[in-house]
Amino acid sequence: MNTILHRSDSRGHANHGWLNSHHSFSFAGYHNPERMSFGVLRVLNDDTVAAGMGFGAHPHTNMEIISIPLSGDLKHQDSTGRTAIIKNGDIQVMSAGTGITHSEKNASTKDEVKFLQIWVIPNKQQVTPRYDQVTLDPKNRCNQLEQILSPNPDDQGVWIYQDAWFYLGTFEKGIKSRYELNMSENGVYAFVLKGSFQLGDHILTHRDGLGIWNLTSIELISLSDDAEILLMEVPMK
C-alpha cells in the first residue's frame, strides 16, 4: 500500500473576498508540481461563496465536473438551458465534453454557501455535454458509506465518463467500516469533511486528505461523533 498525506493547512489558498477557496491540487494561481492530481482526480476545491456572489458564465471542455454542496443553496445555469438550485444532500455533475458554459452563484442574499468543486479527467473525449443532479437522503449514510457517483447510469447517485466511484459517510465515534475497491488498479482519495478518522496508520482531521493506492481494501475508524468523510476511488492512470 502506498500513501500520500495532504494536511488541511498545506493546501493552496485564495481569498478573493467573494470567494474563499482551498485547493488540494494545483489550480489557478496555486501551482505545486508535486500536487497536480491524484490519478485522474484533477481538482478538489473547498469553496465558500459570499451571499449574492458567485462564478459568472465560463466554459469547460472534456472534463467531468462534480459539485457537492455542504451548506447553503447554489444556483446553476448552463448553455444546455438548464437552471437549477442545488443544496446539501444534492450531487451535481456535468460532462463538459465538446464544450459547456455555466455559472454557479450563491442563491441567497443573506447566507454564504459552501461546496466542493471536483474535476475528474474523463475516459471518453468529445462527448455531447450533459448535466445531471440527484437528491440523496443523508440518513442513508449513517454509520456506513453511501455511493453517490459511479460509471454506471443505473447505479445510485450520478454517473460520469470514468471508472470512478464516490462515497459519503457519517459515523458515530468508534464505528469501523471497511472499503473494498471496485477495481484493484484504482486508488482512493479520502477527504475528511468533519471530525476525525483513522485510515490505516494515519489519523485524519478536518479537511485533511489521504491518497492510497496499491491496495484492495482499507479500514476506516471514526474517532469522533458526527464524523463525515468523502471517499473517491479513481483510476491512477
Residues 6+ apart with CB under 8 A from 120: 40, 41, 42, 63, 64, 66, 160, 162, 164, 234
Strands 158-159 and 145-150, bridge-based pairing: parallel
pLDDT band at 85 (very low <50, low <70, confident <90, very high): very high
User: At a CB cut-off of 8 Å and minimum separation 6, what does 34 contact?
Assistant: none
Q: Using alpha carbons, list the distances in angstroms from residue 20 to 12, 23, 160, 183.
A: 11, 10, 27, 35
Domains of the chain, with CATH numbers?
11-135 (2.60.120.10), 138-235 (2.60.120.10)
**Better-scored residue on pLDDT, 237 or 124:** 124
pLDDT band at 116 (very low <50, low <70, confident <90, very high): very high
pTM of the model: 0.97
167: β partners: 147, 231
Mean pLDDT for 93-114 is 97
- In this structure, are residues 78 and 100 in contact, taking their beta carbons and an 8 Å threshold? yes
Report whether 235 contacts 163 (CB < 8 A).
yes
